[in-house]
Amino acid sequence: MIFSRHRSIPLSLLLACLLLFPNAAIAGHHKEGPTKKAIVLAAFGTSYPQALGSILNIKSTIEKAHPDIPVRLAFTSSIIRSIWHGRQNDLEWQKAHTSIPQEMLTVKSPLATIAELQNDGFKDITVQSLHVFAGEEFQDLKNLMTSLRSIRTVKAKSQPFKKLALGRPALGMPGDQHPYTEDIAVAVQALKGDVDEARKLDAALVYMGHGNDFFSTGIYAEFQREMRATHEYPVFVACVEGFPDFNDMLADLKKSGKRTILLQPFMIVAGDHATNDMAGSEDDSWKTMLTQAGFTVTTRLRGLGSVDSWAAIYAAHLNDAMSQKHLLR
């Protein structure tokens, strides 16, 4: 039926139309569907192709646990991101490293990754830290998330995010919601295989951690204590930066009675520090200095991320973060 603009529509007919076609009352108004979710894995990063597998193993673990949610990688190091970006036009390099995912050539910072996801319509984003402990890198990430959560708009519907959550590092973080001592206990169990390997060699197990110059690294000493107590085996942890350092570890190691050492990184990837500072042939590498001190040293270039039980720690912490209520309004 066609109505002339000069004739009024009877009220009874208008009501009948509204009852028969209820959606006509909201025609032209956009109705939002379910909030789109995304996951961001934030790591310091590595420029070593052979070390990248540790991070990709964690990503694969997360993707299997959340097959319906997109998972993005982000690197906090601008230097490492620049190295990967420089490989975009290096066809020879790409040809020699066909196993490297193309997404690595455009890897972004956590901020840029979150912004890109938000621009694509994702408003429920959980960022999972791939750090070992809550040091400088994690604190910067936490500050970023706090700042993004503070964004306010005049209208609630214009908020860029509906939820932003942050997953804690492997060894936990300060606070009473998830006691860090419980996270240490889980991490100690996750590395039982390392102790078993050291037993086979009758070797002391020595870890090189990265540490930090600006935050307390006492958690490494706590981890060492729990490794020894739980597995009843001589385990030593020292840091490139912070306490305990190499000399602290060496003095303790000499008292152990062990003359053979299994040396490996206590880092997510076996990248530059592990390859050069730990296992290199230079005079100041840990392997060289331990050998000069009279020890027989076996090195293992394996990042923590390649250990499935360690990757499972991040998956569990991600689940905890996703279940939290970090609503912005």
Give the model's pLDDT for residue 20.
Answer: 46
45 and 133 both lie in a single domain: yes
143 and 231 both lie in a single domain: no
Give the model's pLDDT for residue 30.
Answer: 54
Q: Residue 173: pLDDT above 50?
A: yes
The number of CA neighbours under 13 Å toward the Cβ of 318 is 28
Distance CA 165, CA 167 (A): 7
126 and 162 both lie in a single domain: yes
- Of 270, 278, 328, 256, which Cα lies nearest the Cα of 303? 270
43 and 173 both lie in a single domain: yes
Q: Tell whether 315 is covered by a domain.
A: yes
Q: How far apart are the first and last CA of the chain?
A: 47
The stretch 102-120 carries a mean pLDDT of: 96
CA 183-58-114 angle, to 5 degrees, is 95
Who wins on pLDDT, 22 or 190? Answer: 190
Q: Tell whether 60 is covered by a domain.
A: yes
Give the model's pLDDT for residue 214.
Answer: 84
Q: Phi first, then psi: give them for residue 223, nearest 5 degrees.
A: -60, -45
Residue 10 pLDDT grade (very low, low, confident, very high; cuts 50, 70, 90): low
Q: Tell whether 120 is covered by a domain.
A: yes
Q: Residue 94: pLDDT above 70?
A: yes
**DSSP 8-state assignment for residue 154:** S
Give the model's pLDDT for residue 2.
Answer: 42
**DSSP 8-state assignment for residue 108:** B
Give the model's pLDDT for residue 215.
Answer: 86
Give the model's pLDDT for residue 212.
Answer: 87
Query: What is the per-residue pLDDT across 55-76, written as a single tens digit (0 to 9) for each?
Result: 999 999 999 999 999 999 999 9
Task: Work out the burial of residue 212: count CB atoms within 10 Å of its CB; fewer than 13 is exposed, 13-18 middle, 19 or more buried.
Answer: buried
- Residues 227/186, Cβ–Cβ less than 8 Å: no
Q: Tell whether 174 is covered by a domain.
A: yes
The stretch 84-112 carries a mean pLDDT of: 95
59 and 91 both lie in a single domain: yes
Q: Residue 19: pLDDT above 50?
A: no
Q: Tell whether 317 is covered by a domain.
A: yes
156 and 267 both lie in a single domain: no
Residue % of the chain over a pLDDT of 90: 83
Q: Residue 21: pLDDT above 90?
A: no
Query: What is the per-residue pLDDT across 292-312, written as a single tens digit (0 to 9) for each?
Result: 999 999 999 999 999 999 999
294 and 175 both lie in a single domain: no
Give the model's pLDDT for residue 213.
Answer: 85
162 and 221 both lie in a single domain: no
Q: Which domain holds residue 124?
A: 36-179+309-322
Query: What is the per-residue pLDDT across 264-299, written as a single tens digit (0 to 9) for each?
Result: 999 999 999 999 999 999 999 999 999 999 999 999
Residue 33 pLDDT grade (very low, low, confident, very high; cuts 50, 70, 90): confident
Q: Residue 27: pLDDT above 50?
A: no
Q: Residue 16: pLDDT above 50?
A: no
Distance CA 269, CA 61 (A): 16
Give the model's pLDDT for residue 32.
Answer: 66
Query: What is the per-residue pLDDT across 218-231, written as a single tens digit (0 to 9) for each?
Result: 999 999 999 999 99
Residue % of the chain over a pLDDT of 70: 89
Give the model's pLDDT for residue 304.
Answer: 97
202 and 249 both lie in a single domain: yes
147 and 249 both lie in a single domain: no
Query: What is the per-residue pLDDT across 159-172, written as a single tens digit (0 to 9) for each?
Result: 999 999 999 999 99
CA 73-313-199 angle, to 5 degrees, is 120
Distance CA 71, CA 41 (A): 7
283 and 137 both lie in a single domain: no
Residue 325 pLDDT grade (very low, low, confident, very high; cuts 50, 70, 90): low
For 101-234, strand residue ranges (E) read 122-129, 163-167, 204-211
The amino acid at 210: H
The CATH number given to whatever domain includes residue 233 is: 3.40.50.1400
42 and 175 both lie in a single domain: yes
Who wins on pLDDT, 3 or 190? Answer: 190
Give the model's pLDDT for residue 34.
Answer: 86
**Chain centroid to CA 124:** 18
Q: Tell whether 15 is covered by a domain.
A: no
Who wins on pLDDT, 209 or 22? Answer: 209
Q: Tell whether 227 is covered by a domain.
A: yes
pTM of the predicted protein model: 0.88
Q: Tell whether 184 is covered by a domain.
A: no
- Structural domains counted in the chain: 2
